[in-house]
């Protein structure tokens, strides 16, 4: 079983699952604190360290976007490891799981929702939906969850990079696809570029999903 770190209340019936790297872990306490400010829904969070970010979270192989580090397409193995965690924690109870994360981890969460119904919610903060072929994959396979959160920084699409500049169009298309599939979702625009307040953006993503699962008809205006 993959290793993970526990935050919040690990005995809660509702568990947030987040693939993380060292930068995510450094902001984890601030992220947890922000989630608690935004919702009173009890939760635990399992931070799941990822060894090779580009390989372990990408759904299929793709060429490098920056430098010479391409994408290895190891998401399926990562998903299998996370599902093993869910199986080990399920026991005889009725634990519910929300999968989410930032950047490529947000893309991974959306992709995972296309291939399993295990996660009640998907929390995708500034997800890398520019990834080649992803919107088409989402449209073809659909997503299986009760709520999905999307966000993007309002400066993320304002770049001359030919791949990254597509992120705005891709996030809008992702929202459109989810709504067409009848998935309750929201798209929030945050101030700044991709590297601003990743922990707080991730917290907002998880908090929105928690609030929606608590009561689909009542979404806090503060989130």
Asked if residue 219 has pLDDT above 50, the reply is no
Give CA angle at 138 (133, 143), nearest 5°.
155
* Banded pLDDT at 145 (limits 50, 70, 90): very high
**Is residue 44 within 8 Å of residue 14, measured between CB atoms?**
yes
Residue 208 CA to residue 195 CA, distance in Å, equals 21
Per-domain boundaries in the chain: 5-214
pLDDT of residue 11: 87
Where are the strands (E) in the chain, listed by range? Answer: 5-8, 14-20, 44-49, 61-62, 71-72, 96-102, 119-125, 147-153, 185-190
Residue 121 CA to residue 71 CA, distance in Å, equals 26
Give CA angle at 199 (196, 201), nearest 5°.
70
Backbone angles phi, psi at 131, to 5 degrees: -55, 130
pLDDT of residue 91: 67
Question: pLDDT digits over 72-84, tens only?
Answer: 999 999 999 999 9
Domain formed by 5-214, architecture: 3-Layer(aba) Sandwich (3.40)
pLDDT of residue 93: 67
Question: pLDDT digits over 174-206, tens only?
Answer: 999 999 999 999 999 999 999 899 999 999 999
Closest CA to 59 of 166, 133, 162: 133
């Amino acid at each position: 079983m993959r290793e993970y770190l526990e935050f919040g209340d690990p005995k809660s019936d509702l568990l947030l699952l987040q693939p993380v790297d060292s930068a995510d872990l450094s902001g984890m306490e601030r992220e947890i604190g922000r989630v608690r400010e935004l919702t009173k829904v009890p939760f635990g969070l399992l931070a799941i360290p990822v060894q090779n970010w580009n390989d372990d979270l990408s759904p299929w192989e793709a060429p490098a976007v920056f430098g010479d580090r391409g994408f290895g397409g190891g998401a399926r193995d990562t998903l299998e490891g996370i599902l093993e965690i869910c199986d080990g924690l399920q026991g005889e109870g009725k634990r519910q799981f929300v999968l989410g994360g930032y950047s490529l981890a947000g893309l991974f969460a959306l992709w995972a929702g296309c291939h399993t119904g295990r996660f009640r919610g998907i929390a995708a903060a500034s997800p890398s939906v520019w990834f080649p072929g992803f919107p088409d994959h989402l449209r073809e396979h659909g997503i299986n969850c009760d709520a999905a959160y999307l966000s993007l920084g309002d400066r993320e699409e304002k770049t001359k990079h030919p791949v990254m500049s597509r992120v705005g169009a891709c996030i809008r298309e992702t929202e459109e696809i989810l709504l067409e599939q009848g998935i309750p979702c929201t798209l929030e625009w945050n101030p700044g570029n991709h590297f601003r307040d990743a922990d707080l953006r991730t917290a907002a993503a998880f908090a929105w999903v928690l609030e929606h699962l608590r009561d689909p008809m009542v979404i806090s205006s503060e989130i």
